[in-house]
Amino acid sequence: MSTTDQQAAAAWRVADLEQDQSWIFSLSDAAARQLARTVMAAYDPERPLFDYAREDFDLGPAWETIAAALQEAHHGRGVALVHGLPRADLSEDEFKLLNWAIGLYAGVARPQGKASQYISAVRDAGVDYRAASGRGYSSNAKLDFHVDGADIATLGCYNAAKSGGQSMISSSVLARQILMDERPDLAEIAHQDFYFSRQQEETEDEGPYYGQPLFDFADGRMFGKWNRNRVQSAQRIAGVPALTDQQRETMDVIDQILARPENMYTMYLKPGDLQIFNNHVTLHSRTEYVDFDRPEQKRLLFRLWLAPSDSVRLPETWWDFYRSVKPGSVRGGIRGHAHDAACKAFEARQASALGMTTDG
């Protein structure tokens, strides 16, 4: 698919996703059983995730389907959904390992926070989403539209909530087009720097905030960046320029565009679903949810952030967060406070296996 065609595909509206559902994939029962067998055979509760390699897992015919979904998310519409992961056959920890195994095939996993965790359990841990160090994945709160901190994000659903927790997605490519048409004055503002908080997760060589435009281009491709919560949180950090009235209006108008019924696609993830995003062209959100009382029934998804081997060049303005804009490089993620020699060794091994670079 050419760059022009990809950008056109990524500028979808709800009607487009409803009329052509080729972005939705399903595993056969036989493929799902093969996944369950390979994970159960490899699973060792004493073995760290970093010690597993691609060769430990024969994903069988399921990988062809999952690879096609990743291709659709990365180089097509910017989103894909896979039904049928073998959730019923696997324990919570085995299902986590399944998601990790898929990541070993798909790219280099990226750290996701202060603890430098490479896979996150998305569940309500009582965190205040709006706090200076708040993270939405650890709360049951309604989330703002946002992107995650890597080229690709995957969410594997183990348990759904008792009620709520609806997933919403919108195209940032379409949002910019609408903004250009309806408010070109604000589109110009959106191409200027906004300041994002690192939510107290920065490493020693990073500041507590960074500046980045909401939209930028590289090699003819548009890239979007948005996270209202982190922009507002940055306003409490010394040295961050105060938001102007025009910037605040830009933020409000963008959120309004993203939430228009014709632009915002909604879905509920079911146990065994795998949702995949290209964070450069797709924004996502979630409604508040009410959980079950029993711990084993509570809402739980496993999230991976990935740097894929076939990534494209990023805008230079993306460097401060991604630490590299080169195609095919290990980039993105939140290195956090525990990014140690073991993390770096894992990244180097995985990059070598996929023919990727780690030189930034």
- Helix boundaries (H) for 259-324: 319-322
**pTM confidence score:** 0.95
360 located within any domain = no
315 located within any domain = yes
pLDDT at 125 over 90: no
Q: For the segment 208-244, what is each residue's pLDDT rounded down to a tens digit?
A: 999 999 999 999 999 999 999 999 999 999 999 999 9
The band of 345, judged by pLDDT with boundaries at 50, 70 and 90, is very high
The angle formed by the CA atoms of residues 305, 112 and 257, to the nearest 5 degrees, is: 65
* The residue type at 17: L
The closest of 127, 136, 111, 135 to 203, measured between CA atoms, is 111
Q: What pLDDT, on a 0 to 100 scale, did the predictor assign at position 143?
A: 87
DSSP string covering 168-226:
EEEEHHHHHHHHHHH-HHHHHHHTSEEEEE-TT---TTS-SEEEEESEEEETTEEEE--
In which domain, by residue range, is 80 found?
A: 3-354
Please tell me the total count of domains within the chain. 1
Mean pLDDT of 63-69: 98
359 located within any domain = no
Q: How far apart are CA 348 and CA 329, in angstroms?
A: 11
191 located within any domain = yes
For residue 34, what is the DSSP state? H
Q: What pLDDT, on a 0 to 100 scale, did the predictor assign at position 128?
A: 55
The CATH code of the domain that includes 316 is: 3.60.130.10
219 located within any domain = yes
Q: How far apart are CA 62 and CA 102, in angstroms?
A: 10
Rounded (10°) angle between helices 245-258 and 172-182: 120
